Structure 1
Amino acid sequence: DPGNSEDSDIPKGYMDLMPFVNKAGCECLNESDDCGFDNCLIKDSSYLESDCDEQLLITIAFSQPVKLFSMKLQSSDFAQAPKVVKVFINLPRSMSFDDAERSEATQVLDLAEEDYKEDGLVPLRYVKFQNVQSVTLFIKSNQGDEETTKINYLTFIGTPVQATNMNDFRRVRTTSNSQFFFTGVLCWCSPDCMKNTVILNGCCF
């Protein structure tokens, strides 16, 4: 199942990051109306297919920063599987196809048949993918120079960055003090230290 760190093809210490994908922040340019981007986020017979040519521009956003170890791509038709893929991270704005062509990528992949085996993983330069909030894939060509490109499944393998999320704090007001609950820990803080204060594990910072 997606997100299952026990999958045999996932190295120990890493996991399928699909549960951390923020679908509302994802984007795909040149997707077919009939075979859209959402199809490649689930493991079934459906697929993402490009529309007017072989190129696709996919942005995947994560709900929290992650570290990327590798990418997993599956395509039922190898001739239509991606070949040259430019990978970008943390772009400040949406990228056009022209931008993708001329911009320097974080990594350029030249995929081969072995990358599409059932247990195949596409390695990424781990040191360059340490604090990733979004990743953009420019699929420049496919394996057989076919008119369109197909992707049955796309996901990333890695780990979440353990960053404190202030949305996880829940405040409960009392008459003289404020209580904070964070991951099951009860924290107390007097009103005098409430200004510009972060409460973590019972301590004021």
Structure 2
Amino acid sequence: MMSKTVIINSLGQFEGLLKSSRIVVTDFHAVWCGPCKTIAPIFEQLSQQLSRPNLITFVKVDVDQQKEIASKYGITAMPTFMIFKQGKVEEKIQGADPRKLQAVIKKLAAEADGSSSSGFGASGSGSSWRKGDLPRGYGDITDQIEVKGLELLNADSEFGSVRVLIDGAKPTGLSGGKAAASKEKDWVESDTDEQLMMFMPFQSTLKVHTIQITSLPPKAEEDDEVPMRPKTVQIYPNRAHILGFEEAEDIPATQSITLSEKDWDETGTATIPLRFVKFQNVTSLVFFIVDGDGEGERVRIDRIRIIGETGEKREMGKLEKIGDEPGE
């Protein structure tokens, strides 16, 4: 796969990019710097995932070859990551701290995507459709889900597939009834009863800090058969496969959550902090929606987001977790 990262060869080239791209993520590095080499694959991975033409550009600046740029921006330690938004410095991270780098970049990417997704009536402020900041030091790691391995039991086939749940786009349910009706059904509803079972494998070993579930049932009008939001959610980490419904009722969940009306914010999202010590080395999660909050027969889920920290890659060799220790 061709790299999307731009190598900066002059101050003029760099300043041109600051004008043409809304966000510019800059890696100030040096050939002799050990921590720079260690974090380089993570920077490249973020570049592949998040680069957007004229919106988010990832660039590398060799401080020994581009002394004028390094001097202009006061670079004194390597690596230093600077994130520019509309030409101005938005964030500065010194040292090889992958967790912080990922969290900051993904937050800005979500804002940029939110402000660019014109079909969804995003506000001009550039904020993404979800409310609130991510937990300090943690990032959105939904992209670590192994999409091909996703499974969902008891879902009604008239609605979206399991993949819509991890789509970062603003749910049509937030656009009002008419807008939602004109689009494909980008949510999931249970079929024969209110229970849903989901298996979510990951590409790497994760530390999972928080889960966000978005559920946007329409208001009851003529059709009183509206679906419910989830009420009881049971979570099982590191299962080799999806559980059966009867099997799940016999196995104690690692964490069981009961949601009530006050847990859902205005975007229809409930934020669920996990018992972090129990979710430190997670390769998969099973979600069991036991029941819904109401008297109906169906449960609806629009989106699921996973927040935490990535660890080792499962396939492409070891990706060590690194801090900002000097040297190699």
Q: What TM-score do the two structures reach when normalised by structure 1?
A: 0.74
SS at match of 2:249: helix
Size of the alignment, in residue pairs? 170
- Aligned pair 1:15/2:139, yes or no? yes
Alignment partner, residue 167 of structure 1: 316
- Aligned pair 1:150/2:306, yes or no? no
Assess, with a 3 A threshold, how the Cα gap between structure 1 residues 5 and 148 changes in structure 2: closer, same or farther.
same
Summarize deviations over 1:143-198 as a string: whole Å, max 9, x none. 1131111001111111111x2666259xxxxxxxxxxxx99xxxxxxxxxxxxxxx
Alignment partner, residue 236 of structure 2: 88
Which among 235, 259, 262 is matched to residue 111 of structure 1? 259
AA paired with 1:73?
Answer: I
Structure 1 residue ranges without an equivalent (≥5): 170-181, 184-200
The CA distance in 2 between the partners of 1:62 and 1:5, in whole Å, is: 21
Assess, with a 3 A threshold, how the Cα gap between structure 1 residues 75 and 94 changes in structure 2: closer, same or farther.
closer
The answer to whether the 8 A contact 1:56-1:140 is kept is yes
Structure 2 residue ranges without an equivalent (≥5): 1-49, 51-102, 111-131, 173-185, 219-226, 321-327
AA paired with 1:24?
Answer: K
Alignment partner, residue 121 of structure 1: 271
AA paired with 2:138?
Answer: Y
- Which structure has more RCO (C-alpha within 8 Å, separation ≥ 6)? 1
Alignment partner, residue 245 of structure 2: 97
Alignment partner, residue 48 of structure 1: 188
The CA distance in 2 between the partners of 1:9 and 1:18, in whole Å, is: 16
- Aligned pair 1:38/2:38, yes or no? no
The offset of 1:105, in angstroms, is 0.6
The CA distance in 1 between the partners of 2:163 and 2:290, in whole Å, is: 20
SS at match of 1:52: coil
Summarize deviations over 1:109-130 as a string: whole Å, max 9, x none. 0012233213641111000000
The offset of 1:103, in angstroms, is 0.7
- Measured on the aligned residues, the alpha-carbon RMSD in Å equals 2.5
Alignment partner, residue 195 of structure 1: none
Q: What TM-score do the two structures reach when normalised by structure 2?
A: 0.48
Higher strand proportion:
1
Summarize deviations over 1:59-105 as a string: whole Å, max 9, x none. 11111010111110111128611100111011133310001111111
Assess, with a 3 A threshold, how the Cα gap between structure 1 residues 25 and 12 changes in structure 2: closer, same or farther.
same
SS at match of 1:39: helix
The answer to whether the 8 A contact 1:87-1:137 is kept is yes
Higher helix proportion:
2
The offset of 1:38, in angstroms, is 1.8
Alignment partner, residue 207 of structure 2: 67
SS at match of 1:121: strand
The answer to whether the 8 A contact 1:73-1:116 is kept is no
Q: Percent identity?
A: 29
Assess, with a 3 A threshold, how the Cα gap between structure 1 residues 164 and 22 changes in structure 2: closer, same or farther.
closer
Alignment partner, residue 148 of structure 2: 24
The answer to whether the 8 A contact 2:205-2:314 is kept is no
SS at match of 2:316: helix
Assess, with a 3 A threshold, how the Cα gap between structure 1 residues 11 and 94 changes in structure 2: closer, same or farther.
closer
The answer to whether the 8 A contact 1:38-1:48 is kept is no
The CA distance in 1 between the partners of 2:315 and 2:287, in whole Å, is: 30
